[in-house]
Amino acid sequence: MTILDVRNLVVDIPSGDGTIHAVRDVSFQVREGEFFGVVGESGSGKSVMVQSIMGLVPRARISGSVKFRDRELLGISPAELRGVRGRHISMIFQDPLSSLHPQYTVGWQIVEQIRAHEPVSHAAAKARAIELLKKVQIPDAASRFDAYPHQFSGGMRQRVMIAMALSLGPGLIIADEPTTALDSTVQAQILDLLGEMRKEFGATVLMISHDLGVLSRVADRVMVMYGGQMMEVGASQEVLGAPAHPYTAGLLRSSSFNREPGTPLISIGGRPPSLLSPPAGCVFRERCPDAMDICGTAPPMRLYSNGIEAACWLEHEPSEPAAPTVPSDVRTVESGPESHIVQTENLKLAFSQRRGPERVVLDGITLDVRRGETLGLVGESGCGKTTLARAIAGLIEPTSGTVHFDGSPVSGLSRAGWREMRRRVQVVFQDPFGSLNPKRRVGSIIGDPFRIHGIASGAERRARVGELMELVGLSPEHYNRFPSQFSGGQRQRIGIARALALNPELVILDEPVSALDVSIQAQVLNLLDELQRTLGLTYLFISHDLAVVRHVCDRIAVMENGRIIELGDSDDIYQNPSQPFTKRLLAAASPGTAGGRPLRQHGSVFPVGPLVARPEEPVRDSGMKVTR
């Protein structure tokens, strides 16, 4: 039985530059009780699509039909829609920072959500809220009920959002990148939790994710979006194992989740189309390695023998592009005798708390980072990874212990020493929203390092900023845009461009690709790899994504409760982890199953087979034109 029936959905959003054609004639059905995944790059229209379904896109012009359990949602009054939101359809948003009110405790916010829809006492709502906080693994839930959002880590804030979305037992849960900010063990717990809710309450889950590994693990069916249109839909095992559409095949080749460690990721060349003036014909044509003359005409959705429906003229396996090669003019850095760029000695950091004993965040860290290597730092949220990185960069003063950078102590640097240190060490922060000034234009933000260090000005600075934007997959035409006009993934790319501006020696990458789409992840990881080889960069790579860490890191340090419990070569750690905690992390991160079934690797089961005629479906046009 169908719970959500979307037909011919079109979403146009007026903007200063013209009309953004965000969603273009998308039709799909979500079945009662299933886990339905939506995947695609930033700007493919997936978030706008679900937000417009819920009436959350201001000024959007929406047409088509969206039925929830046979009830048309487009065109109903805002009050009626509010009754549906939360009670029957709940949403888990991508960005918990902007979704939780900073001035209210997390417990109060959950209680308010419950009492806005149900006539229950405060005590009963509080008991349910604490129960939900326990379910989403908030430690010491009863006492954290009175905590404020800023007292939680990013991962814990997202868990609170999930508790809030689950609080009313909705029929449909729409989750927009709900696990992107979480480390692998918590990610697995949250996915399990969503699975439990589905079984316990018969809830249906529609989950948007750019993480193919996550979707392969949980989704029954997957829909792939690109340029505001649906490219492919079918059982996740088929779509992620033997895709019919070249775009899906490209996404799979870009992803580290199903590729051998050390093999280069193959990104999809080019950039997604402008939604201000989408191209005629197939929207993927500019980037498609299989494009043909007929692709100038928009392809219809066609049904393939493995049950996949895809919008493509191709009738055979999508072709495999060549692996990227390093340009011949690349200067290779000679590897000299092993030297350390960073050394920490018994580093300790503790915060005093208003109530209770002091909180130890770093508990005697002795670590070296070798020049030219990529050292991975992995562990759960709150284990101290980011704090350690900040102490290494000199952004936090440790309680005791020392940090040496290139042989010199970081504490007690002169003003000139700090300025030099700022050039040599760059940080790409985890939170692209919090690290960009919303009132400044992106070109000016990326050009800051040039301005501050007096390296380039005027037209030269603008040209160099344009090059950096190109490097990280941003259009230089967007030089004058503000951060709010970019998606989450694009904002992270802005941060990376800014960090690379001064050719630093050590780059601390704090979850640098966790917010990016896999195709962009591949571009950025390949770019980081190339820069490292040509410029001799050293990376300290913090990530909860163990597939990415294994792919890019030479050595890995595993952190737990402020300590390094295991350190070694990546292959050794992955093949012979000695600590139970490391084994748990690895077990939680194991991808490669779709709904408990083994996944086929892309390319192993082809051809897709002959096309079968798609049964004629009566296309219902509600004729409704709704303007919000």
DSSP H or E stretch at residue 564: strand 563-569
Distance in angstroms between the alpha carbons of the first and the last residue of the chain: 30
Q: Which two structure tokens, joined as six digits, stand for 293?
A: 């003359």
Q: Which residue has the tokens 């699509």?
A: 49
304 vs 313, beta carbon nearer ligand SF4: 313
218 vs 311, beta carbon nearer ligand SF4: 311
Cross-strand partners of 304: 611
Least CB distance to ligand SF4 at residue 519 (A): 14
Instruction: For residue 522, give every residue at least 6 positions away whose Cβ sits within 8 Å of its Cβ, in sequence order, or none.
Output: 253, 254, 255, 256, 265, 266, 267, 268
60 vs 251, beta carbon nearer ligand SF4: 251
292 vs 326, beta carbon nearer ligand SF4: 292
One residue of 93, 152, 284, 304 binding ligand SF4 per CB under 6 A: 284
Burial of 62 (0-12, 13-18, 19+ CB in 10 A): buried
User: How many residues in the shown chain lie near ligand SF4 by CB under 6 A?
Assistant: 13
Measured between alpha carbons, how far is 521 from 405 in angstroms, rounded to an integer? 29
Q: Is 395 in the site for ligand SF4 (CB under 6 A)?
A: no
285 vs 555, beta carbon nearer ligand SF4: 285
Instruction: Tell me how far the alpha carbon of residue 311 is from its chain's centroid.
Output: 25
Sign of CA dihedral 476, 481, 483, 488: negative
Contact region with ligand SF4 (CB under 6 A), list: 8-16, 95-103, 287-295, 544-552: 287-295
Measured between alpha carbons, how far is 399 from 392 in angstroms, rounded to an integer? 13
The mark string for 231-270 relative to ligand SF4 (x by CB under 6 A, - otherwise) is: ---------------x------------------------
One residue of 224, 295, 361, 553 binding ligand SF4 per CB under 6 A: 295
Structural contact between residues 14 and 72, judged by C-beta atoms closer than 8 angstroms: no
Structural contact between residues 486 and 494, judged by C-beta atoms closer than 8 angstroms: yes
Measured between alpha carbons, how far is 164 from 230 in angstroms, rounded to an integer? 30
Least CB distance to ligand SF4 at residue 38 (A): 18
For the segment 492-551, give every residue that binds ligand SF4 (CB under 6 A): none
Please count the residues of the chain.
Answer: 628
Q: Is 117 in the site for ligand SF4 (CB under 6 A)?
A: no
Least CB distance to ligand SF4 at residue 222 (A): 17
Contact region with ligand SF4 (CB under 6 A), list: 197-205, 278-286, 576-584, 594-602: 278-286
One residue of 208, 230, 314, 472 binding ligand SF4 per CB under 6 A: 314
One residue of 56, 147, 168, 291 binding ligand SF4 per CB under 6 A: 291
Structural contact between residues 68 and 172, judged by C-beta atoms closer than 8 angstroms: yes
One residue of 124, 142, 280, 292 binding ligand SF4 per CB under 6 A: 292
Residues that bind ligand SF4 in the complex, under the rule CB under 6 A:
246, 282, 284-285, 288, 290-292, 295, 299, 312-314
